[in-house]
Structure formats: C-alpha cells, structure tokens
Structure 1
Amino acid sequence: HGAAGSPRGRAMLADPAGAVRELADLTGNAWHALLEPDWPRLRTLLEADIAYRARQLAEGGLERLFADLHPGVTWSAGTLTIRTRFREVMTQKLSGRGVLLMPSVFVWPDVVSGFAPPWQPTVIYPARGVGGLWQRPTPDAAGALVRLLGANRAAILTGLDEPASTKDLAERHELAPSSVSAHLSTLRDAGLLTARRAGARVLYERTALGVALLAGEAASG
C-alpha cells in the first residue's frame, strides 16, 4: 500500500508541503553529518574524474570516453549497454536524448543507471582513484615520494587534502610564493594537480592520479 500503509506515511500524505519541508531538513542534516566534513576531498576526486572524462571525449570521442568508463558499460552505434555485477543487462538506444554521466564514490564496484522517462538517461559510475581515497602513504611510501618529487613538492601534494591557493600553501609550508608557484606548475604539468578559478583566487587540487600516487598505487589509464 506504499506510504498509506503506515500512520507516518498517512500523516505525510495528509500534509504534502510539510512532508517536503521535513524531508528537505532531514536531507540537510544528513549532508552536514555525513558528507560535509569530507566534501573537499570528495569533490577533488570527482572533479578530477570529470576533467579526465572531458579530455577523453575531446581527444577520442564517445568511443574513447566509454572505453574505460566502467567494465560494465559499452557503447556501440548509438546504443548504450549496461551490465551490472548482478548479471542484469540493460540496453538503451539514446536516439539523441544524450546521457548524463555522474562519477560517484559510493557505487564501486558496480554501475547504476536510470533510463525511465521523463528523466534524462543517467549512468552513475565509480570515480577514478576511489580506491585510494582514504589511504595514507606508509613511511616507506612517503620516503619514496620525497625521492621522486623532492621534499617541498611532496609536502605540497601530501598537504592538499582540500583546495588551496598559492598564498595558502606558501603560508602553510613557510615557503616563498614564487617557489610554491614553481612547484605547483611542475605538479600540474605532471598531471598530479589541477587548477580552477574561484572568484579572484586560483585553487589547486589533486587529480585522481595525485590521489593514487599518494596511496602508493598506479592509476589506471
């Protein structure tokens, strides 16, 4: 009977506007308690994935984009096929409707899709580097990172748990802004950092490759 089958459900059906407000408040509470403390790190990983997918699309079209999106996702002649780990197979001919791709840190190792109208076809897939998201380098790995990058660049990369500007990093590491700027350029050229403008500031963030390197892993692709 759905919501009407319980007293709580009937109360919500009797006051739809109040139910919407309550659900919005509860959703906000869940965000603040469960996601907000870790959002800078999560956002960095998700935005790095989006940037990588955009490059794949620009350089090789849809074929390259879908080639390493997820093992369960294939694209051929305008048809999108999704195979889940529960052996469910869904095939959709998009016919010009487009598809919304959403990286997630919560769906690994599976892929989630939704094609029911009137919503835009959507595929939710694991973001690149999610396996190393919460790992910290071991002492041996940290030493190897210093040997690979140099002490200052390793410290900057390791300390970027949330986006930061050149000025922020110079103050944090007690380095000259010009030195930090040079280190950031090197790390960005190596694909370990990405930069984005936020108002008058330029903020630097780790890419999925940077996250994987800190975890002592090699990023795929």
Structure 2
Amino acid sequence: AASAAGRRLLADPARAVRELADLLERAWQALIEPYWPRLRALLEADIAYHSRRLADSGLEQLLGELNPRLSWQGATLTVAGTQGDHERVLGGQGLVLMPSVFVWPEVVGGHEEPWRPGLIYPARGIGGLWSRSAERTPGTLARLLGQVRADVLCALDEPAGTSVLAHRLGLAPSSVSAHLSVLRGAGLLTSRRYGHQVLYERTPLGIALAAAD
C-alpha cells in the first residue's frame, strides 16, 4: 500500500515533479556543486584523451582500453561480469560512451527507452582524484623548478585548465597562468583548446621530469 506521502504525490503529478526537481537541486548543491570544477576537469580530460585514442587506434582498440570488462569482436560488444545475460541489437542507434566518477570498477550499461543505449565507465585517473598534487612532487624537481612550478607540472596527471589547477593547488589563477606559460615555453607542456577552455598537458619531457625522484 502506498504511504500518505506517496498518495499525495500521485494525486498531484505536477506538484510531485516540482518537489522532486527541488530535492535533486538541493542534493546537487550539497553533494556535487562544491567539487564540480575538479570532477568536470577529470571528465573532460577523459573525453579528450579517449577521443584522441579513437582517432589514433580505432573503436575496437578504444573499447578494450576503456575497461578490462569490455571486448569487441566482429560486430558484437561484450560486457563481462554483469548480472545475468542481456542482449541488445542497436540497429544503427549508436552507443553513448560516458565517463563517470561514481562507478568503479564496474561498467554500467543502459538501453531502456527513451534513453539512447550507453555505457558508463570509470573515468581515467579516478584513483588520484582527491590526492593533493603537492604531496606527489619529487623533491629533486622542486629544487630544479621551484616548489610551486613543480607542483603545477605534477598536478597535470590529466589535462586541465588554469582555473581547475588554481582550485586544485589553492593558488591564484594569474599565478598558475604565469607558471603554465613558463613550463610550456620550456617544452614541458603543450596546450590545446577544448570547448570553452584551454587544456594543458605534459609533453614526454614533462612526463619524465614529473616521474623523476
């Protein structure tokens, strides 16, 4: 039997939708919004990285890299380790690949109407999402570049923009921008525009320096 609250919601669907939307907004403000710059940066970096991998290696290779549970053979995508056996013929609908910071290590599939078929997979770099970059900066690199500049370089495990790096390191955006320009000029970083922002990532030389200890 429905509860009193449930009956009230069913009796006035329009009001129920408004109340549920308000609750979702409050949940977003309390649980997600304070951390959204960092979460968004990780998700955008994942999309940028895998877009390049798709162009370089093709769909079959990309799917194998997204998650060990995924495999592609012929025209069939198999997701291993799921509950039960389910088959779906896409029939030209396409498949949405969506990174997430809320699933790990599972891959979540969905194909119910009215949504398009999709796969939600753990975003690349999720393991270091909440770690502080300064704690991972090698001392030798800090002595070479200076502590703050070395922290900026080591914070770029994944491509990121100026505002995200400033938030992550607790620095002024103008200071981070100046350090990024110096690091790029020295050949340690490269930059490219992605949507509304410029993302920076380490060059092979930058990767080697960041890993030195």
Identify the TM-score tier after normalising by the shorter chain: 0.7 to 0.9
Separation in 2, partners of 1:35, 1:94 = 33
Residue 150 in structure 1 maps to residue 148 in structure 2? no
Contact 1:81 1:92 in 2 (8 A): no
Contact 2:133 2:155 in 1 (8 A): no
Matches within 5 A, 1:1-221: 5-84=2-81, 88-137=84-133, 139=135, 141-144=136-139, 146=141, 150-151=145-146, 153-157=149-153, 163-164=161-162, 171-172=174-175, 177=178, 180-184=180-184, 186-189=187-190, 195-196=193-194, 198=196, 202-204=197-199
Separation in 2, partners of 1:108, 1:8 = 34
Tell me which amino acid in the other structure corresponds to 2:33: E
Tell me which amino acid in the other structure corresponds to 2:42: L
Between Structure 1 and Structure 2, how many residues are aligned? 196
TM-score by length of 1: 0.72
Contact 2:189 2:200 in 1 (8 A): no
Q: CA RMSD in A?
A: 3.6
* Residue matched to 1:219: none
What's the % identity of the aligned pairs? 44
Separation in 2, partners of 1:93, 1:187 = 46
TM-score by length of 2: 0.75
Separation in 2, partners of 1:42, 1:116 = 27
Shift of 1:181: 1.7
Decide whether aligned partners of structure 1 residues 79 and 114 sit closer, same or farther in structure 2, where only a CA change above 3 A counts. Answer: same
Unmatched segments (≥5 aa) in structure 1: 217-221
The superposition leaves residues 97-155 of structure 1 with CA deviations (integer Å, 9 ceiling, x where unpaired) of: 1001110011101111111233211100000000111112575x423472598335423
Separation in 2, partners of 1:104, 1:56 = 18
